[in-house]
Amino acid sequence: TFLGTDYVAHTLEVGDEETLVINLTGLDCTTFLENALVLARCIKKGTTSFDDYKNQLQSIRYRNGIIDQYPSRIHYFSDWIYENDKQGIVKDVTKKIGGVRYDKVINFMSNNTKSYRQLSNEEFVEQIKVFEEEISSRGYYFIPEEKIVSVEGKINHGDLIAITTNIEGLDIAHVGVAVKKNGRIHFMHAPMVGKKVEITEKPLADYVKANKRQHGIMVARPLEP
């Protein structure tokens, strides 16, 4: 359904108050993934009213499903995986399928406040720092780019893929959905400004290797609702 949808950056940065933003006509990589997951869960549950959709979306996008200003949104995707694993919405299978430790100090947002309009608020910056410290203290795992080919058989069609990065202070650079095509795992994603939602021509392993800022993946498996 979303194939060919325009990529639009900063889709959630609307207005001064934090609200549940819904935009299905323009998607960034995270809102593409979130909406694909939420719509699939609604269909599986047979609960397809607009309110059902909104409730599901809010529950995966915000910490404990509660909107309480900008810091309550889950901004780092490794944290998104952790929180939604805790809720029983997805399962982080990275370690199980061959992942190795991913230890990194996460502080990109607090170190780059000028890139985030809402972080002109010092109180928000302090709250973000608390979350960053918590994320940095956890034991995450990732599959390095050179190992992706060897674990492809353990990645399911429909798994959620988070691509790790060597950018200082940042955990995840890009996200999308695994698509099995001709026996290989490809990557369905909202790529960048000026492009549209697509399935990569290259398999996922080759796609990651081709980007110098990407160096591996985390894999989260959607659970039955």
Q: What is the mean pLDDT of each run of 10 residues along the chain (225 residues)?
A: 94 91 96 97 96 98 97 98 98 98 97 96 98 97 98 97 98 98 96 92 97 97 96
User: So what's the pLDDT on residue 32?
Assistant: 97
- The span from the first CA to the last CA of the chain, in angstroms, equals 21
User: So what's the pLDDT on residue 192?
Assistant: 86
How far apart are the C-alpha atoms of 19 and 70, rounded to whole Å?
9
Element (H, E) at 199: strand 198-199
Cα–chain center distance at 123:
25
* Residue whose entry in the numeric block shows the structure tokens 């950056």: 9
User: Dihedral, CA atoms, 89, 92, 96, 100, nearest 10 degrees?
Assistant: 180
Do the beta carbons of residue 207 and residue 188 sit within 8 Å? no
Do the beta carbons of residue 37 and residue 16 sit within 8 Å? no
Instruction: From 75, 140, 69, 82, select the one nearest 113 (Cα to Cα).
Output: 75
pTM of the predicted structure, to 2 decimals: 0.96
Task: State whether the Cα torsion 42-70-135-218 is positive or negative.
Answer: positive
- Can you state the angle between helices 29-45 and 50-61, rounded to 10 degrees? 130
